[in-house]
Amino acid sequence: MEFLPHPKELNFSSDNLGQEWETWKNQFQLFLQATESDKKPEKVKTSILLTCIGNEGRKIYYTFDFENDEEKLNLKKVIEKFDAHCQPRKNLTFLTYQFLTCKQKETQRFDEYVTELRQNANKCEFGNLTERPIKDILICGVSDGMLKERMLREPSLDLQKAIQAGLSAEETKRHSKIMAACETESISTIRNPKKNKMSSKVMLKREDRKSAKTQQWIETCTYCAGSHQKGNCPAYNKNCTNCNKKGHFARVCRTKKKKLYNVGHNSDHVEQNQFNVDAILKKKCRRTTN
């Protein structure tokens, strides 16, 4: 476990040096345990601390007054010296006031509120009498009115039961919001079926358009006058009934259309009819002349 990264150097220029030191100290103690260095001699553990704390921390260490050299290499004594240097003089009355007036913030989760209460209680030096005051302030400061009433009705309520009740209430509220959102969506679907169908149709049309674009769709073909996918024209290799050329239909044919006369079945018949008409006209002309 020697490869574990050690804590970063302590920032002695921080505006909240006391809190920075407490956080760093906890990290350092965890590092000793994780690397099993807590089983090593005192001078080794002290040397590890001085190595991790940084150059500024070592300068401060050399200003400390110790009764003897043995105490100078004792980890517990060295930590006490840093405690006195980093922690300002405590105002227990003010810290207790902060604890007693701590209320759950509007956006603060219940578990976060419990953690804040525990941290504030530790600063007040209540000793072993922390469970009762934390429970009492928790009941007074929780923002959920129904939860507060439920806690007050429980005569044998202790801190663990209060915490469990708060976590369960918060989880129930979260589930209720999810269910309400699902119900609202379902009602909207029932009340507006046409709207939902129209939305579906619009989506399908959009998909069709996208598909048509990807397939190179031709809207108005110059060979068949219809719409089709590129390369799939129905007029391909077909004879035009107007000009008899291949590759297009008569409705888009650019050749002048032929005039058709339904006067007979063959040319001989047409010629005979034309001869009879001429003969009749000649007879009429003669009668008129005479």
- Domain presence at residue 8: no
Q: State which of 135, 155, 187 marks the end of a domain.
A: 187
The region that residue 52 occupies, defined by phi over 0 for left and psi between -120 and 50 for alpha, beta otherwise, is alpha
- Domain presence at residue 283: no
Q: State which of 86, 118, 145 marks the end of a domain.
A: 86
In the chain, the number of structural domains is 3
Length of the chain: 290
Mean pLDDT, residues 36-56? 94
On the question of pLDDT at 120 being above 60, the answer is yes
The reply to whether 69 and 141 lie within a common domain is no
Look at residue 44 in the predicted model and tell me its pLDDT: 95
Q: Give the number of other CB atoms < 10 A from CB of residue 126.
A: 15
Rounded-to-integer distance, Cα 37 and Cα 1, Å: 10
Say what the alpha-carbon torsion angle 29, 35, 39, 42 is, to the nearest 10 degrees: -60
Rounded to 5 degrees, φ, ψ at 259 are: -90, 130
- Domain presence at residue 286: no
pTM of the model: 0.45
On the question of pLDDT at 124 being above 80, the answer is yes
Q: Measuring CA to CA, how many Å separate 162 from each of 61, 108, 130, 140, 166?
A: 45, 17, 14, 12, 6
